[in-house]
Amino acid sequence: MTIDTKAVAANLIAAVPFARTLGIEITDLDLDGDRVRAVATLPDEERLHNHVAGPHAGALFALGETASGAVVMGAFGPYLNLGTPLAVRSDIAYAKLARGPVRATATLGRPVAEVVAELTAGERPEFPVRIEITRADGAVTTTMTVVWTIRPHG
C-alpha cells in the first residue's frame, strides 16, 4: 500500500487548529518500514516567545506532540477503521535555550506490525514516539517522549 505522505501531513495540520494557530508545519514524513519518522517546524515569531525571547515551553510541547502525531498518522493511518489514536502520556526535558526557528524530529519506538497485531487481536496497544527538538545550529534543546495508544472501536 502506498501512502501519500504529503496528504497525511496536510490533513493532520488541517485537522488540528492549534497547530495551525502556532504556524507548525510538517516538513517531512518518512515511512520506511518500521522506521517511521516525521519532522515539524515552528517559526520564530514574537507572539510565540517566552520571557527570554525563545519559543514558549507550551509551543515547544505542541511542536513535539504534533510531530509525534504525524508519525502516528503515517504509521497507523491505514488502520483507523480499527481504532482511534490517542496520546496517553508524555515526558519532556528542556536541555538548552531554544532561539529562532526550531525543528522537531519524531521517531516511532515500536515496530508497526507489532502494534497492528495487538490492535487486530482486540487489545489496546501502547507505543512511544521519541522527539528531539533542535535549533538552527543543530543543538538539541528539548527531548520528549509521547506514549500513544490506539483505542479499538466498539
Rounded average pLDDT over 23-51: 94
Cα(36)–Cα(128) distance, integer angstroms: 12
Residue-level pLDDT at 5? 85
Tell me, letter by letter, the H, E, C secondary structure of 71-101.
Answer: HHHHHHHHHCCCEEEEEEEEEEEECCCCCCC
Rounded average pLDDT over 134-141: 97
At residue 1 the predicted structure's pLDDT band, cuts being 50, 70 and 90, is low
Ordered domains of the chain (ranges, CATH): 5-152 (3.10.129.10)
pTM of the model: 0.95
Residue-level pLDDT at 33? 79
| 66-75 tens-digit pLDDT | 999 999 999 9
- Residue count of the chain, please give it: 154
Asked if residue 82 has pLDDT above 80, the reply is yes
Residue-level pLDDT at 32? 85
